[in-house]
Amino acid sequence: MAIGKNIRFHRDIRLGWTLERLSEACGVDVGTISALENRDSKRSMYFAKIATGLGLTLDELEIPPEEFLETTKNTNKQFVTDKPNKHYPRVVGAARMGDQGYYIDLDGGDGFVEFETEHSSIAIQVRGDSMFPAIRDGWFIIIEEKHQPVMGEYVLIKFKDERKMVKELISIKSDCYVVMSVNGNERLTVMQDDIYDILGITAVVPPSKHKT
């Protein structure tokens, strides 16, 4: 049974997600997801991770869209990621803050954060005290799909060499960004040519809002 078309159904029709959004949620790169959808692939080592990112089991991902809709209608099953009037960020993992302001991704992530957003969003749990007291160990940063970086607010910076950091955006220049460490100890100039993406952080939310 081909599953590629099912992935596209859940991503695009059911959730209204971009390829990039699903990539963030499941940890599979955009090119791989796109190829699986376009080829309507029958087998892949990535299906289980993609199913988890979509809030499904692998068995549920294998169900044809029309049968899936009928099954969920009859059972009244609710999905964390499928809320018609509210958007709650799915927890996609954790990040351990490290040396020189960079962090490493930690595996895992489950449930959602009870914090309503206007658009599709994700949550990442911060581990470590390098950003204390502004962002404490165990708290969540919320990244909203359509929230643009704003000067004076926190941003998530992704570098082309796969490093990542959370900083306060101080100013935007023609070829660079000027940022400051969240705890205010260090100012840094980041060249735009070195950046893959920069995302605005909507909110910092306490761990008590985490629901499974």
Instruction: Point out the least confidently predicted range of 14-18, 26-30, 159-163.
Output: 14-18
63 within a domain of the structure (yes/no): yes
Q: Are residues 94 and 71 in the same domain?
A: no
Specify the pTM: 0.59
Q: How many domains does the chain have?
A: 2
Where is average pLDDT lowest: 73-77, 118-122, 168-172?
Answer: 73-77
Bin 56: left if φ > 0, else alpha if -120 < ψ < 50, else beta: beta
Q: Are residues 173 and 140 both part of a single domain?
A: yes
Q: What's the domain range around 137?
A: 90-211
Buried b (16+ CB within 10 A) or exposed e, 184-211: eeeebebeeeeeeebbbbbbbbeeebbe
DSSP string, 97-162: E-GGGEEEEES---SEES--BSS-EEEEEEESSTTTTTS-TT-EEEEETT----TTSEEEEEETTS
List the single range of 77-91, 93-107, 136-150, 178-192 with lowest mean pLDDT. Answer: 77-91
Q: Are residues 103 and 55 in the same domain?
A: no
- The CATH code of the domain that includes 49 is 1.10.260.40
